[in-house]
């Protein structure tokens, strides 16, 4: 494994102006790569990568991955896709297109230029799972016709395409299944639980909990997640994954809300609303494969990660 070496490999990051993509661009620029960030700015923002613009080895291109792209690169991280229900349900047909046509276009590019390509897949491929924690060999329980299906099934189809390109065209592919990740540069209005709670607490509003708050989630801090993605990209050819990346520490949604209120201070109360359709009761990664193969495990404690994220949102709201 080659995790720390500085190399000038050229790297394409699709969705590079988004939450995870912008942190990935930071790390790649830091490592000395020639980075091409491609984004259509649907949920991403120039603000996330403004500090990189002007750096000699960073380039930004406005492009929609549902259209073909012809560039010369050695590695591709395919992250383009809205990730929060509010955003991916806004135009569900476009969401499926982004996952499926986007994967076809990026895989076609990787095939043409013989690049290694990594797909940012998701724990949503497990749907509402019957086993806990979820291991990579679990096939999932997904509703094919529900409101979340554009995302869940789009990502499942993208995985299928990755493995078919690998089998059929010997493409060097890597698939990571990302579990709930949080941190600075999350979208403030995307309805995701961590950003929701923090923004509500900072505004002194009540904290909205869907359901009774006993459903559990695991929360991975963005720096931990990006480290695992980089390590996965550096594994030997032939190791494809899929591999779970996330933090196995489980918290109830209620516990999360209480921690946020305690860290922010203030007097926000918890209020309860009905659960949305297809909302999974529990989601927890089994990361044994990532521990063994990537020599990786999350290091950032929830309180510390929340502290950083609260600082980010405090500045953002003040601005
Ligand atoms: N954050 C998480 O907890 C999480 C969990 C599982 C999987 N993921 C996956 O990681 C990736 C990044 O997620 P994120 O949390 O950074 O979300 P995000 O919405 O912040 O980032 C997605 C980026 O993709 C861009 N994009 C969307 N459609 C595009 C298109 N057609 N062409 C070009 N760019 C497009 C957006 O503008 C945005 O910059 C996504 O593929 C998501 O499915 C994230």
Please spell the DSSP secondary structure of 95-141, one letter per residue.
HHHHHHHHHHHHHHHHHHHT-EEEEEEEGGGGBS-SSSSBPTT---B
pLDDT tier at 125, thresholds 50, 70, 90: very high
Q: What is the pLDDT of residue 284?
A: 87
Residue 117 has pLDDT above 70, yes or no: yes
Q: What is the pLDDT of residues 191-215, one digit of tens each?
A: 889 999 999 999 999 999 999 999 8
What value, to the nearest 5°, has the Cα angle with vertex 187 and ends 184 and 192?
A: 100
Q: 121 pairs with which residues across the strands?
A: 177
Q: Give the mean pLDDT of 10-36.
A: 98
Residue 179 has pLDDT above 70, yes or no: yes
What is the whole-number distance in angstroms between the Cα of residue 269 and the centre of ligand 1?
31
Cα-based distances in Å from 280 to 63, 98, 186: 33, 24, 21
What is the whole-number distance in angstroms between the Cα of residue 267 and the centre of ligand 1?
33
What is the whole-number distance in angstroms between the Cα of residue 78 and the centre of ligand 1?
9
242 prior amide bond cis, ω within 30:
yes
> Which residues form the pocket of ligand 1, taking CB atoms under 6 Å from any ligand atom?
14-15, 17-21, 39-44, 64-66, 79-83, 98, 102, 120, 122, 178, 180-181, 187
Two structure tokens written together for 51:
């500090």
**Nearest protein CA to atom 28 of ligand 1, as residue:** 81
Q: What is the pLDDT of residue 61?
A: 98
Stated pTM of the model: 0.95
List, in order, residues 6 or more apart from 73 with CB less than 8 Å away.
10, 11, 12, 36, 109, 113, 115
Three-state DSSP at 175 gives strand
Ligand 1 closest atom vs CA 192: 3
What value, to the nearest 5°, has the Cα angle with vertex 120 and ends 192 and 213?
A: 25
Q: Kindly list the structural domains of the chain, giving each domain's residue range(s) and its CATH number in brackets, ordered by start.
A: 10-181+221-248+280-299 (3.40.50.720)
As a whole number of angstroms, the distance between CA 6 and CA 205 comes to 46
**Nearest protein CA to atom 23 of ligand 1, as residue:** 15
What is the whole-number distance in angstroms between the Cα of residue 80 and the centre of ligand 1?
5
Residue 178 has pLDDT above 50, yes or no: yes
* Residue 151 annotated to the active site: yes
Q: Give the mean pLDDT of 234-260.
A: 96
Looking at 88, 126, 151, 221, which residue is catalytic? 151
Ligand 1 closest atom vs CA 80: 24
């Amino acid at each position: 494994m080659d995790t720390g070496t500085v190399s000038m490999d050229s790297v394409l990051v699709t969705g590079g102006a988004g939450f995870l993509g912008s942190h990935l661009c930071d790390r790649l620029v830091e490592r000395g790569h020639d980075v091409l960030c491609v984004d259509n700015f649907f949920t991403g923002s120039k603000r996330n990568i403004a500090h990189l613009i002007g750096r000699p080895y960073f380039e930004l291109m406005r492009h929609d991955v549902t259209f073909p792209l012809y560039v010369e690169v050695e590695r591709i991280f395919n992250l383009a896709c809205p990730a929060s229900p509010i955003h991916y349900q806004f135009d569900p047909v476009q969401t499926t297109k982004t996952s499926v046509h986007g994967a076809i276009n990026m895989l076609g590019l990787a095939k043409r230029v013989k690049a290694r390509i990594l797909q940012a897949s998701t724990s949503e491929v497990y749907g509402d799972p019957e086993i806990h924690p979820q291991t990579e060999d679990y096939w999932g329980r997904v509703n094919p016709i529900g409101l979340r299906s554009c995302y869940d099934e789009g990502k499942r189809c993208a995985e299928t395409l990755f493995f078919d390109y690998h089998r059929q065209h010997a493409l060097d592919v890597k698939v990571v299944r990302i579990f709930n990740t949080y941190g600075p540069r999350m979208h403030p209005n995307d309805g995701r639980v961590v950003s929701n709670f923090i923004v509500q607490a900072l505004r002194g509003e009540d904290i909205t909990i869907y359901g009774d708050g006993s459903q559990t989630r695991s929360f991975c801090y963005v720096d931990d997640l990006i480290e695992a993605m980089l390590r996965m990209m550096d594994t030997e050819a032939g190791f494809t994954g899929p591999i779970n990346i996330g933090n196995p520490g489980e918290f109830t949604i209620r516990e999360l809300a209480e921690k946020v209120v305690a860290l922010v201070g203030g007097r926000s109360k918890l209020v309860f609303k009905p659960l949305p359709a297809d909302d999974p009761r529990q989601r927890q990664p089994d990361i044994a494969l990532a521990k063994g193969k990537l020599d990786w495990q999350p290091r950032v404690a929830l309180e510390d990660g929340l502290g950083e994220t609260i600082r980010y949102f405090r500045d953002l709201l003040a601005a």
